[in-house]
Amino acid sequence: MNHRFFSRARFWGLLALSVALTGCASLQSHDKLASDVHSAGQAQGIPAALARLESSATTESDKTALLYNLERGELLRLDRRYEDSNHAFMLADNKVKEWEEAATGNPQKLMGTVGASLISERLKVYEGQDYEKVWLTTRMALNRVALGDFDNARVDIKRTHEREAVIAEFRAKETLAAEEEAKSKGAASGSKQINGYPVETLNDPEVLALKNGYQNALSHYLAGFMYEAMNEPGLAAPGYRKAIELKPETGVLEEGLRGLDDRSSFTWKRRQRMTDVLFVVEAGDAPARKPKAFTLPVPTGRGLVTASISYPVIEPSSDPLLSQLSVAGYDLKLEKVVDLNAMARRALKDEMPGMVLRGFTRAVAKGVLQDQLQKNAGLLGGLIGAVASAATEQADDRMWRMLPGRVYVARGYLPPGEHRITINGRTLEQPVKVDGQYALVPLRFYHSSVLTGEVATLGQLAAVAAEPPPPAAPAAVAPTAKPQPAAARPARAQAKPAVQARAH
């Protein structure tokens, strides 16, 4: 390694910058902030959680930042403030749109991250995890459904599919570029190169089973359900089909596609007397990225020096699984369609090659800096360099933490009206009211409570035709039995749909 790698002026400038950055706001831990927000929500409710989050945004730049608005939008959604939530989400979406424009028009700009990462990963502009970009438009669509704005929900669903295509194309280019740069630097990319890194968290079967780190079955199943409810079965089928591809062998997803033709027929809709209800049940918390420190020997002109390096680790979720939802006398199977913990680990696995390369480059630069400090200022200089290196070497722990950990789906036919719901033996305090041809019921396990979102109703059940009155009895003969009222007879017409009140 050439010990003249830095000029004297550049070297002292970098030293000053390193020391200054020790207290820089950009290096503050998002994991700590998210933990504080969760604690406030658990102790005092969502308004307190919102207040803690909002206190962290002290500038206009903070208030328009991507991650701040993702977190704020989710908390507002939990508080059923859907319009305010979507306002925050739209601010976040503006940042993602900027990323999309760069990804399609100037991908090299996004790939040039080594410069900003020469000191710390946390100095990079936060672009959002790929699965977060997809969740954003899905969340916006769910908010619009809750508000009854189905036309704009349809637009958000379409944008979700377009966003996935942009991500897929860009990541393919980025992976190729990272591999070529790693070869040119003499560093083999991959997490196996990091001694002591828990690679089993990235390589367990649940993570490897995912097709990629950004698509999720809920987004596509929701697209199928919404298109079906809006009487567009030709668009619903691809949504159901993609959901099955992303989460195969899941009964509720398979039945969504299998029963589509029958449910979309004019005859069925004319005879339908019960509401087709989709339950979306969210539980647990999104995972955290925890920094883990490592050391790396770096060759310099004066021999080997040890440089600090840090990478994030995501521990597997230990949240208990949900399995059954009971309502109106029917037991519906709750099936897990999304695991945010597994998606986050898959995203981290895909990100590791570039992260390792940047860490290697950063360690070499800091090792040379430390060597030059020791050469020019003795042991004290070397100590200053080591402290500055360790202070700025912090793994990026930014993630959308207010999301749930897992999402479950159940679907079945229920009679219109109010119903009490029981999940895994726990009866929810607030009943839900369903009506219409289709209904979507969002539920969220939030700490010790269960939050019920606004129930969306789509379409109207066919009116039951009035039956003709029974023939009048002869004047001289009194009837021996009172005829059944006409209004009671349609209950027999509901018997067939009632049998189908099951997950499908």
Quick: pLDDT tens for 337-365: 999 999 999 999 988 877 877 777 777 77
CA distances (Å), 189 to each of 90, 113, 182, 302, 397, in order? 36, 16, 6, 27, 21
Query: What is the pLDDT of the chain when averaged over all its residues?
Result: 82
| 295, two tokens | 């050391």
Task: Parse the chain into domains and list their residue ranges.
Answer: 8-12+28-409
Give the pLDDT band (50/70/90) at residue 467: very low
* Residue pair 357/452 in contact by the 8 Å Cβ criterion: no
CATH among 1.10.10.60, 3.20.140.10, 1.25.40.10, 3.40.718.10 for 8-12+28-409: 1.25.40.10
pLDDT of residue 414: 96
Task: Identify the DSSP state of 6.
Answer: S
User: 């940047």: which residue's tokens?
Assistant: 358
Q: Give the distance, in angstroms, between the CA of residue 477 and the centroid of all CA atoms in the same chain.
A: 72
In angstroms, the CA 3 to CA 205 distance is: 45
Examine the pLDDT at 90 and tell me if it is beyond 60. yes
Question: Per the confidence metrics, is the pTM higher than 0.85?
Answer: no
Examine the pLDDT at 425 and tell me if it is beyond 90. yes
Q: What is the mean pLDDT of residues 287-292?
A: 93
How many alpha carbons fall within 13 Å on the CB side of residue 400? 30
Q: What is the mean pLDDT of residues 142-165?
A: 95
* Residue pair 411/275 in contact by the 8 Å Cβ criterion: no
Task: Identify the DSSP state of 443.
Answer: E
In angstroms, the CA 184 to CA 171 distance is: 20
Which of 245-249, 294-298, 453-457, 476-480 is predicted with the least confidence, judged by mean pLDDT? Answer: 476-480
In angstroms, the CA 414 to CA 409 distance is: 15
Examine the pLDDT at 126 and tell me if it is beyond 70. yes
Q: What is the mean pLDDT of residues 137-148?
A: 97
| CB within 8 Å of 203: residues ≥ 6 apart | 349
Top-confidence residue, 457 or 14: 457
Task: List, as own/partner pairs, every contact residues 485-491 make where C-beta atoms lie below 8 angstroms and the sequence separation is at least 24, other chains included.
Answer: 490/273, 490/464
| CB within 8 Å of 99: residues ≥ 6 apart | 110, 127, 128, 133
Q: What is the pLDDT of residues 309-322, one digit of tens each?
A: 888 999 999 989 99
Q: What is the pLDDT of residues 36-65, one digit of tens each?
A: 999 999 999 999 999 999 999 999 999 999
Give the pLDDT band (50/70/90) at residue 300: low
pLDDT of residue 123: 74
Amino acid of residue 378: G
| Start-to-end CA span in the chain (Å) | 64
Task: Identify the DSSP state of 486.
Answer: G
Please provide residue 480's backbone torsions phi and psi, each rounded to the nearest 5 degrees. -85, -20
Amino acid of residue 21: L
**Exposure string over 163-191, b if 16+ CB within 10 A, otherwise e:** bbebbeebbeebeeebbebbeeeebebeb
Give the pLDDT band (50/70/90) at residue 376: low
Helices (H), 332-441: 340-392
By C-alpha distance, which of 151, 129, 153 is closest to 216?
Answer: 129
Examine the pLDDT at 377 and tell me if it is beyond 70. no
pLDDT of residue 501: 41
Examine the pLDDT at 181 and tell me if it is beyond 70. no
pLDDT of residue 196: 79
**Residues above pLDDT 70, as percent of the chain:** 74
